[in-house]
Amino acid sequence: MNIAVIGTGYVGLVTGVCLSEIGNNVTCIDIDEEKVKTLRSGKSPIYEEGLEELLQTNIQRERLHFTSNYEEGIAAKEVIFLAVGTPQGADGSADLTFLNTVCSDIVKYLHNDVVIVTKSTVPIGTNENIKTSIEQNAVTNLTVRVVSNPEFLRQGTAVHDTFNGDRIVIGCENEEAMDIMEEIYKPYNIPIVKTDLRSAEMIKYASNTFLATKISFINEIANLCEHVGANVDDVANGIGMDSRIGGRFLKAGIGYGGSCFPKDTNAIIALGNRVDYPMFILESVQYVNEKQTDLLVDKIIKRFSGNIEDITIALLGLAFKANTDDMRGAPSVQVAHRIIDAGAKINAYDPVAVENAKSVLPKEVNYVKTIEEALNHANCAVILTDWKEIKEYPISLFRQYLSYPIVFDGRNCFSLEKFNGSGIEYHSIGRPSIN
Ligand code: NAD
């Protein structure tokens, strides 16, 4: 099939590359000319396991092309995927500026009937508006079929998730378009949920906000565990073994971040307010999450008797989660700003996110290339991302490099047993501290 994908971010690029891998002829369009240049040379501008290899293979097979030119990009395409960002607007709702620009740009060059597939996360009703707007403004008389096909990939495992997803959701009110979508996705051999446009749009928001709810729920239980001397890891294990609850997404920590959970939770809250149906549970989910990151900093300051001025803190991990270079919504941003505002110094380490971190962390942060450099002579270590190399770090080195062996673990990377009798002070989330 001849396919165009508009937007080559985490979603668009992975979508385009994987669709070419299963045999389609794909052109990816992005207004960022630098990015297009990088992609044409076979380099991925984002860090995703396995992506660059597939990118290079399919460029060589001449099945994958990149351009900034809309006319060239959408010429003779049967299906156009929209994957531009839908960031949070000033009032919390999704800002559709990028998507609207794309729609007004593609109409200028559309000459054949086309299926428009929205992968971007969009408010309920958006796909109907896309159809009306394109049909009304197209230069020739053509039929536009719209499909809501929300994306569920997780950054860090995006390629794997595309080929091994739990389900593919196709919202569509036209049989022919549904057939085309099923044909495209057949090689993935993933169960397909067929539904109408509005339900598909809602499935995406309901999925993300449910996961955010699970995280805030276990974090709230974790905080209570700290007050009453229970261990949240055991609690999560004990409740997660109930198949009605399920064990995943019950890991206590410093709260969720990233470009999706915070903005999608806000978007649904804004939508509820707009239709006069306040989303009470999600308002609490968001409140608990915002507080969660601060609680860790409060703990650090309290440990140093209310004053961290002039001490040095090693921040281990900056990305919003492991295996990505994405800093959008990363808890490390809030943590670093509070630490610097309180007068402490920061040595920051992350295996891949440092370049992105530089634009969002305070300018005073000192970036280092190894964990040891971060720890060297620091007064404590604070773990913010559960990178494998951090989870597997030999704990004796904390004692060797830190001037005071104190570790604050915002991701519960280590078992308490590891620190018992180690001579290292260890504070984590929802578990007894080891002194
Ligand atoms: P992103 O910001 O990484 O990428 C967006 C890309 O679109 C950028 O490369 C940008 O240059 C390009 N772009 C902007 N305007 C354009 C235009 N007019 N024409 C062509 N290209 C244009 O975004 P993302 O993280 O890939 O997210 C895209 C959408 O997918 C969002 O709606 C998001 O909520 C949703 N989503 C994201 C994830 C995720 O994990 N990142 C997962 C599921 C769904």
Q: Which residue has the tokens 């009306």?
A: 132
Nearest CA residue ID for atom 27, ligand 1: 85
Atom of ligand 1 nearest to the CA of 155: 40
Q: Quick one: pLDDT at residue 366?
A: 98
343 has a pLDDT exceeding 90: yes
Mean pLDDT of 59-64: 98
Q: Is 1 in the pocket of ligand 1 (CB under 6 A)?
A: no
Q: Which of 11, 253, 46 is nearest to 150 (CA)?
A: 11
Percentage, residues of the chain above pLDDT 70: 100
Reported as a single tens digit per residue, the pLDDT across 394-406 is 999 999 999 989 9
Mean pLDDT of 382-396: 97
274 has a pLDDT exceeding 90: yes
Neighbouring C-alpha atoms within 13 Å toward the C-beta of 383: 26
121 Cα to the center of ligand 1, angstroms: 9
Q: Is 101 in the pocket of ligand 1 (CB under 6 A)?
A: yes
317 Cα to the center of ligand 1, angstroms: 24
Q: Quick one: pLDDT at residue 25?
A: 98
Give whole-number Cα distances, 201 to 26, 37, 192, 255, 275, in Å: 25, 33, 15, 25, 16
Residue 139 pLDDT grade (very low, low, confident, very high; cuts 50, 70, 90): confident
Query: Domains (ranges, CATH) in the chain?
Result: 2-195 (3.40.50.720), 261-427 (3.40.50.720)
C-alpha 245/C-alpha 259 separation (Å) is: 26
Nearest CA residue ID for atom 34, ligand 1: 121
Residues forming the active site: 260
Q: Quick one: pLDDT at residue 142?
A: 87
Nearest CA residue ID for atom 14, ligand 1: 84
Tokens (6 digits) for 341: 């505002």
Amino acid at 333: V
Mean pLDDT of 194-204: 98
- For residue 46, give the 3-state DSSP assignment: coil
The DSSP call for residue 190 is -
**E strands of 1-149, at which residues?**
2-6, 25-29, 64-67, 79-82, 114-118, 144-148
Residue 350 pLDDT grade (very low, low, confident, very high; cuts 50, 70, 90): very high
Q: Quick one: pLDDT at residue 134?
A: 93
> Which is more confidently placed, 432 or 139?
432
138 has a pLDDT exceeding 90: no
Q: Quick one: pLDDT at residue 235?
A: 98
Mean pLDDT of 293-315: 97
Q: Is 161 in the pocket of ligand 1 (CB under 6 A)?
A: no
Strands 312-316 and 144-148: unpaired
Tokens (6 digits) for 416: 């308490």
Residue 227 pLDDT grade (very low, low, confident, very high; cuts 50, 70, 90): very high
Q: Quick one: pLDDT at residue 141?
A: 85
Residue 259 pLDDT grade (very low, low, confident, very high; cuts 50, 70, 90): confident
Q: Is 157 in the pocket of ligand 1 (CB under 6 A)?
A: no
Cβ distance 314 to 384 under 8 Å? Answer: no
Residue 197 pLDDT grade (very low, low, confident, very high; cuts 50, 70, 90): very high
Question: Of 259, 320, 326, which is best to mutate to test ligand 1, by the most ligand atoms within 8 angstroms of its C-beta?
Answer: 259
Least confident of 134-138, 188-192, 320-324: 134-138
353 has a pLDDT exceeding 90: yes
Reported as a single tens digit per residue, the pLDDT across 33-45 is 999 999 999 999 9
What does residue 79 show for φ and ψ, rounded to 5 degrees?
-135, 135
Q: Quick one: pLDDT at residue 185?
A: 98
Mean pLDDT of the chain: 96
Atom of ligand 1 nearest to the CA of 86: 32
Q: Quick one: pLDDT at residue 140?
A: 83
What does residue 67 show for φ and ψ, rounded to 5 degrees?
-155, 160
